[in-house]
Structures are given as C-alpha cells and as structure tokens.
C-alpha cells in the first residue's frame, strides 16, 4: 500500500479590506448619487415655465430677457 500523508492547505492570507476603504467607497457612491440628483433637478427646473415655478414655490430662474422698446419695428422699417 502506498504511503500517503495529509497536509493542511496553507495558502496566502486573505487580504482584508479596511474599514476606511469601505467607508471611502460608500461616501464616494453617495456623493455621485447626490450629484446626479442635483443635475437632474436643474434640468427639470430649467424646462419649467415661470408659472409652473410659481406653482411649486420655486423662485424664477434668472433667464436672459430681451427688452424691446415700443416703436422699434417702426423705426427699423423706416430706415429701410
């Protein structure tokens, strides 16, 4: 009969992930989620009309406004 020996398997130690690394990854994921929510909110608010913004209680977004004086078209047509 052949001689056999049993050996305990000894492998490389399992690398433990530190608590700091786990916390860092969790905080990073939360920050990315929060950033995506903020961007989505801004896009939605930018598409709303001033009336809709007032309905939901948001201040109006500062959008560029073109002010045209009365009679401008008449003056331009007369210059033609």
The dihedral over CA atoms of 59, 43, 67, 56, expressed in degrees to the nearest 10, equals: -30
Are residues 53 and 45 in contact, defined by beta-carbon separation less than 8 angstroms? Answer: yes
Per-residue model confidence as pLDDT tens digits over 25-77: 999 999 999 999 999 998 998 888 888 988 988 887 776 788 888 888 888 88
CA distances from 69 to 56, 75, 77 (A): 32, 10, 14
User: Would the pTM count as exceeding 0.85?
Assistant: no
How far apart CA 37 and CA 45 sit, in angstroms, is: 12
Q: Can you tell me whether residue 13 is helix, strand or coil?
A: coil
């Amino acid at each position: 009969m052949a001689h056999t020996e049993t050996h305990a398997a000894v492998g490389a130690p399992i690398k433990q992930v530190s608590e700091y690394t786990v916390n860092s990854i969790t905080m990073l994921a939360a920050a990315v989620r929060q950033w995506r929510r903020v961007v989505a909110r801004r896009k939605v608010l930018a598409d709303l009309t001033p009336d809709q913004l007032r309905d939901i209680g948001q201040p109006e977004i500062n959008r560029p406004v073109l002010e045209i004086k009365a009679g401008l078209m008449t003056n331009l047509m007369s210059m033609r």
